[in-house]
Amino acid sequence: MVDVMSKNRAVVTLPTETQILIERDFAAPKHLVYKAVTTPELVSKWWVGKRGEMKLAEIDLRVGGKWRFLMIAHGKFEVGFHGEYREIVPNERLVSTECYEGIPDPDAHPTVNTMTLRQVGDVTKLRVLVQCESKEQRDAIINSGMEGGMQEAYDLLEEIAVSLQ
């Protein structure tokens, strides 16, 4: 079904034609989730997922401060994102721009990402609302995830194949 609500899985919905909403629960207090998303050494440990190696994580955590993440996708090509912090409420809310460096003139096409953290008991509910400039941009972002997904599927297949040897 569309609405897969199992607890520790990312749920992606599309609230409007220009937005993407990503939601995920974490079994940790919110100050630790905040720390993990705003500390370069920690971001380096998770941000690439299974898609490559982290090459660089820079975070200047103040309003107007810049961030930049760079990864090497499967040892082949660099994929970079950067942006600027617009609003910071420690442990609760982080608004930043995000520009994908793989397109011409990335700074002309930022998304505005609003991350909020809400703690309910021992669980922190993370929400990232990605505001795109157009439906086309939103669709392109979703499609970029498709490539990643395909790659992950191949990786998984490879793992399974290796385990069967």
Q: Is 162 in the site for another protein (CB under 8 A)?
A: no
Q: Is 72 in the site for another protein (CB under 8 A)?
A: no
- Taking CB under 8 A as the criterion, which residues in 35-54 touch another protein? 35-37, 42, 45-51
| Cα–chain center distance at 54 | 13
Q: Is 138 exposed, middle or buried (0-12, 13-18, 19+ CB in 10 A)?
A: buried
Cβ proximity of 10 and 131 under 8 Å: no
Q: Binder to another protein among 58, 60, 133, 152 (CB under 8 A)?
A: 152
* Shortest reach from residue 145's CB to another protein, in Å: 3
Q: How far apart are CA 117 and CA 128, in angstroms?
A: 9
The region of 30-38, 61-69, 77-85, 103-111 touching another protein under the rule CB under 8 A is 30-38
Q: State both tokens at 32.
A: 């630790």
Cβ proximity of 67 and 85 under 8 Å: yes
Specify the residue, 64 or 75, whose C-beta has the smaller distance to another protein.
Answer: 75
Which parts of this chain interact with another protein (CB under 8 A)? 1-3, 8-17, 19-22, 24, 26-28, 31-33, 35-37, 42, 45-51, 129, 141-142, 144-146, 148-150, 152
